Amino acid sequence: ANTARSRPAFSNPNSPSAIAESLRASTPPDAMDASAAGAVPKAKKYVVGRKLGGGPRKQAVARSVKAGLQFPVGRIGRFLKKGRYAQRVGMGAPVYLASVLEYLAAELLELAGNAAKDNKKARIIPRHLVLAIRNDQELGRLLAGVTIAHGGVLPNINPVLLPKKTAEKAPKSPKKAAKSPKKA
């Protein structure tokens, strides 16, 4: 009663149904369970897609947690792939990019927080970001072409435009008061 079924020419030889079919064809009828005619042999348990054992599944750990980062490694990897920056994206590229972005954000927020404290404010506003960027040499060079809305500019007056300071006059020495001629 073990007849070989014909498979369509387009089926995948590694599919679960194809594997089960090949096992049925290669297993003698006496090795099969009588109650399950045409089933997979009882001696071996085949699990498709997972390792043998079938124990409890491990809890998934995000790549951001593995790398000890706050920025999302998976999302950055997805953006790198969707953006078509290259044909292939390595496993370490999104982790590296996430760590660089996290460092820059932490640096900028620290300097902007200091600028907010200097202005006696508890909330960082775009003005504080601009002050932090323009007063830091490296960040200023990195973000030289960036304009931040409602950020303003650094206070700067060209010294040529300032009023000229005259030399302080020497203190007046007490002179004899010249009497003005009386008018008659």
Domain locations in the chain? 10-56, 63-155
- Asked if 44 and 32 count as a contact pair (C-beta separation under 8 A), the reply is no
Tens of pLDDT along 138-164? 999 999 999 999 999 999 999 999 998
Tens of pLDDT along 42-90? 656 565 666 666 678 899 999 999 999 999 999 999 999 999 999 999 9
Tens of pLDDT along 111-141? 999 999 999 999 999 999 999 999 999 999 9
Tell whether the model's pLDDT for residue 26 goes beyond 90.
no
- Return mean pLDDT, the chain: 83
pLDDT class of 28 with cuts at 50, 70, 90: low
- Asked if 24 and 2 count as a contact pair (C-beta separation under 8 A), the reply is yes
Tell whether the model's pLDDT for residue 35 goes beyond 60.
no
Tens of pLDDT along 41-52? 565 656 566 666
pLDDT class of 166 with cuts at 50, 70, 90: confident
Tell whether the model's pLDDT for residue 12 goes beyond 90.
no
Tell whether the model's pLDDT for residue 180 goes beyond 80.
no
Q: Is 63-155 CATH 1.10.20.10?
A: yes
